[in-house]
Structure 1
Amino acid sequence: MQRTIATLLAAASLTTGLTATALTAGVGAAFAADAGRPDRYTLTADEGGSKFEGIGADERRGLFYVSEVTGGEIHRGSMQDPAAEEWLAGDGTDGRFTARGVTVDDDGNVYIAGGPNGIGQPGRPDLWVYAPDGELLAALRVPAGEAFLNDVAIGPDGAAYFTNSNDPQVFRVADGPAGWSAELWADATGTVERLAGFNLGGIVLTADRSAFVVAQGNTGRLWRFATADGAVSEVATGGADLVNADGLVRQGNDLTVIRNFSRMVASLHLPADGSAATLRSQEASDPDRVYTTAKMLHGRLLAVDSKFDEPVATGPYDVVGSPWR
């Protein structure tokens, strides 16, 4: 496709028709690829309103999973069905009262970050791992006090790596000879300054698998965590405004940064090793939505409308799919 994800998001505010820009080369192919797929995937909600944040994609099975902040339910949908379903109950199920980032490994196991679920609640897990059939594989605490687990990505070793929005830390979760465990993998204290607000958030693996690129939302900076040893360095962005950076999506050497409350989407060129990033464009997203993150599934972008801008959320509740109309 010749359009970047940022361009697709910029068009999200359109409700009917196509602009001249949308008629550029490559768009016809995009529409053909999406033939028969819904534009929106409806999420079920609590009677008093629901808010959402994370999304994980199972490329092999064509499924996606969305986390609900209000209650911790996990919803599951497929590419062809316009209505997602509640897959895992919340409101205390497996100790889960809220949920944030989600990812899926090659075996279809689903990893869920708990956000503040365990803060001030020693008996509550910080994260969960589920088999594709919904069987609970692990409900774990991380070895840190008051961790806010925000997002998660699968590393080159097959383990899951969770970011901490309260401290500059990344935790590694894997199944070993003694069972599932969570360990502190990287601590960037002294390199990444902890500030008020959300610190480490979105995380993606680089194209050459040598590092993770992690967003620090409150400062708008990107950080590189080497997969070999967790060594941390700043990703040079030339001063690009990435404040409120939340979800990250990488396609080849294209990095998309979704800037939630800024209602902007930045498109950057990211070399294979993630050592630097060059801003290509900044585009406005739908002013009536606060997108938090997105994932690619079968060549299509799926973005979560969080409802974070509504004191009491009201419907419709949905995941928005491209092509944007």
Structure 2
Amino acid sequence: MKRVNLFSVIPLMLITGSAVIAGGADNIQDVDDRIATVEGLSGPEAVHWDAEQEIWFVSNFNGDAAGDANGFVSKIASDGEILEREFMIGTDGHPLHGPRGMRIDGERLWVADAEGLHAFDRRSGAHLEFIDFSAFEPGFLNDVEIGPEGAIYLTDTGNARLFRIVDGEISVVADEGLVSPPNGVVWDAGHEALMLAPWGGGRTLIGYRPGQDDLIDGETLPAGGNMDGLEAWQGGLLIASQHDQAIWFVRDGEAEILIRTPGRPADIGLDASGRRLAVPYIALDRVDIWELPDRP
């Protein structure tokens, strides 16, 4: 597989000792700037917005993410009210163990889980399909995205792989060349690539180009690490960084911190307006919602 160095990064950050200042500390939001908080959850790992229904879906580990068969997906109103806590639970044959990344494709909500991918009816919550990954001995299946060609992509953070699923057929499209295990994944039109958030010590985003079947180096954060969720926003990318408990924004080689979170941010969700960002914390059993500022 080819690997391309797309561009060098010019960080906007000023780093002094252990202090990090991005575009002026006064511009960074914190816990006092939240517009809503969703409590009463159980190990929330990911948030995804349904634009037609104007609701949030929140995946909950609810215990052991590897295999205790009691995970669920919650249905949350746009203002943070819990409409149905256990809206999607799977079936006896294919229960949700520790649901994580989600993505809407038509009328389906695809949900990554310990042993594979579940599809649910996004309106009724009914279980529709399960794609079994056990033959691939997955390490930690994590986040889902729909590529521009309609294929489903799924990251394996445990074994540093990116899968592609077409008509139920699974293939590995990236493993060698992934310096850090991929966590979050999102399609980014600016890079014309699926951008992957590095987990572990890496701070450089990696992109996979489906049409060219190659990897590219994206932006590098000047600080942070253990990146989780990604969202495309205002021509750049929002990044959840667990190492420094921050939401970063990178665009055109520049990086800044938008939010200092009170816990380790997991797989973030962005509403259709691009103004409200939902941040889940597994350890806090909570999701916080912020209103994002405009970026020229």
With structure 2 as the length reference, what TM-score do the two structures score? 0.76
Q: How big is each residue's C-alpha offset from its partner over 1:104-143, in whole Å with a ceiling of 9 and x where there is no partner? A: 12x23101111xx23xxxxxxx221112222222112225
Equivalent residues in 2 for 1:250-269 (5 A)?
Answer: 250-269=232-251
Query: 2:148 is matched with which residue: 150, 156, 168?
Result: 156
SS in 2 for 1:14: helix
Distance 2:277 2:243 in 1: 18
SS in 2 for 1:291: coil
Q: How big is each residue's C-alpha offset from its partner over 1:190-232, in whole Å with a ceiling of 9 and x where there is no partner? A: x1236xxxx2111111115731110112122211100214322
* Deviation for aligned residue 1:83: 2.6
Distance 2:50 2:154 in 1: 18
* Deviation for aligned residue 1:293: 2.6
* Deviation for aligned residue 1:95: 2.4
Say whether 1:322 aligns with 2:291: yes
* Deviation for aligned residue 1:93: 7.2
Aligned length: 259
Change (3 A) 1:81 1:284: closer
SS in 1 for 2:97: coil
Query: 1:58 is matched with which residue: 29, 39, 50?
Result: 50
* Letter of the 1:249 counterpart: E
Q: Would you say the 8 A contact 1:206–1:213 is kept in 2?
A: yes
Distance 2:290 2:153 in 1: 26
Distance 1:304 1:227 in 2: 29
Distance 1:157 1:96 in 2: 28
* Letter of the 1:128 counterpart: H
Change (3 A) 1:109 1:153: same
Query: 1:130 is matched with which residue: 103, 120, 125?
Result: 120
Distance 2:53 2:191 in 1: 23
Could you list the runs of 4 or more consecutive aligned residues of structure 1 that deviate by over 3 angstroms after TM superposition? 7-10, 90-93
Say whether 1:188 aligns with 2:205: no
* Deviation for aligned residue 1:146: 2.8
Change (3 A) 1:92 1:217: farther
- The alignment yields a C-alpha RMSD, in angstroms, of 3.0
Specify the alignment match of 1:221 in structure 2: 204
Change (3 A) 1:160 1:89: same
With structure 1 as the length reference, what TM-score do the two structures score? 0.70
Specify every segment of 5 or more residues in structure 2 that has no aligned partner in the other structure, as ranges: 1-21, 63-69
* Letter of the 1:256 counterpart: L
Change (3 A) 1:65 1:163: same
Specify every segment of 5 or more residues in structure 1 that has no aligned partner in the other structure, as ranges: 17-38, 119-125, 271-277
* Deviation for aligned residue 1:92: 6.2
Distance 1:80 1:188 in 2: 40
Distance 2:258 2:288 in 1: 20
* Letter of the 1:301 counterpart: R
* Deviation for aligned residue 1:296: 1.8
Change (3 A) 1:158 1:41: farther
Distance 1:51 1:44 in 2: 10
Q: Would you say the 8 A contact 1:249–1:256 is kept in 2?
A: yes
Distance 2:195 2:33 in 1: 33
* Deviation for aligned residue 1:289: 2.5
Change (3 A) 1:206 1:307: closer
